[in-house]
A and B are shown apart, each in its own frame.
Chain A
């Protein structure tokens, strides 16, 4: 029975720090601690441990903040530039798609007429028509991939210069 009381007190000491206790529990604990030196000792050890934890200060290198801020600024500029480029690319892609759709019947007739004049088989001029649709988008995708790859290496180069010289 006595062990249960002490066990409850020790649990409440930790609970008070971790998740808090009710007023009733607090009242019971205070009353118990007044008469139990062993549990009181545990309570003060817990408080000491947490006080020591709160006061433990890790060493902080002040240059870390400046380096991080500089790096973040460069990355921010890079992301903003990329966003502007991507917006322009999306607008031109949309325009080209609309123009493509509008001009598709004319293009079809054009390919058909050339096929007829040059006596080319139907499959060949239809393939030509399909390629005229696919090739521009493939080229655009290749350009985007190339630019993104180039963007990363430019970023890495800028970052290397900062690390070597200490400034952008």
Chain B
């Protein structure tokens, strides 16, 4: 076996060991492990929730609720799963429930245009100004404005693909949608982001 092969083997073993430790710790409800996981994933989870909700306050509430849910459902976590995928799936389910309660609307409002999505979808009530407030720095202002114009289902897949660098299959698992839906959302989201950024800069 060459050096690259050995390195890959060692890396894979490390990932497996870590997943096993996480699964064991979650079953035991080990507070030290949970502290570590919260610290480790704080920024990424918050960014994902912010992209989903478009509101800083709601993202903060959901951030806490997600970790409490991780603690309660920790025994269901399997070491063969990627922790981030499982975490984002939990966060997404909570966000949908939370938004349904907080912003009750008809099911029609939760649908993606052209009826391509299933009824159980994220609604889009984000105002671009609320979204801008959640970002820091002048450079981010135009992106925040552009993102504020994008519906939540596009922002969600964009962040999973381009912030989290997730594979398309992983994204499909998180958003519980077919691969073709994920792809079409990514293409459409990218197109809209490009268009809005161009308009804002012009």
* Selected interface stretch from B3-11, B30-38, B101-109: B30-38
Tally the A-B contacts, defined by beta carbons under 8 Å: 109
Given contacts A48-B197, A61-B60, A68-B38, 6 further A-B contacts (CB under 8 A): A53-B147, A53-B163, A59-B136, A60-B46, A65-B39, A75-B71
With a CB–CB cut-off of 8 A, which chain A residues contact B79?
none
**B contacts with A: majority SS:** helix
Residues of A participating in the B interface, judged by any CB pair closer than 8 Å: 14, 17-19, 45-46, 48-50, 52-61, 64-65, 67-69, 71-73, 75-77, 79-80
> Within 8 Å of chain A (Cβ to Cβ): is B72?
yes
Bound-state CA distance A57–B143 (Å) is 10
Instruction: Give the residue name and chain of the B residue nearest to A47 (CB).
Output: B194
* Selected interface stretch from B62-70, B88-96, B110-118, B119-127: B62-70
With a CB–CB cut-off of 8 A, which chain B residues contact A58?
46-47, 50, 56, 134-136
Bound-state CA distance A76–B34 (Å) is 9
What is the size, in residues, of chain B's interface with A at 8 Å between Cβ atoms? 44
Bound-state CA distance A64–B186 (Å) is 31
Residues of B participating in the A interface, judged by any CB pair closer than 8 Å: 29-31, 34-35, 38-39, 42-43, 46-47, 50, 56, 60, 63-64, 67-68, 71-72, 134-137, 139-140, 142-144, 147, 158, 161-163, 168, 183, 186-187, 190-191, 193-194, 197-198
With a CB–CB cut-off of 8 A, which chain A residues contact B161?
18
Tell me whether A71 and B158 are in contact (CB under 8 A). no
With a CB–CB cut-off of 8 A, which chain B residues contact A54?
162-163
Bound-state CA distance A163–B35 (Å) is 19
Tell me whether A18 and B187 are in contact (CB under 8 A). yes
Instruction: Give the residue name and chain of the A residue nearest to B42 (CB).
Output: A65
Tell me whether B68 and A14 are in contact (CB under 8 A). no
With a CB–CB cut-off of 8 A, which chain A residues contact B64?
64, 67-68, 71
Bound-state CA distance A73–B35 (Å) is 8
Instruction: Give the residue name and chain of the A residue nearest to B50 (CB).
Output: A58
Chain B min CB distance to A50 (Å)? 6
Chain B min CB distance to A122 (Å)? 50
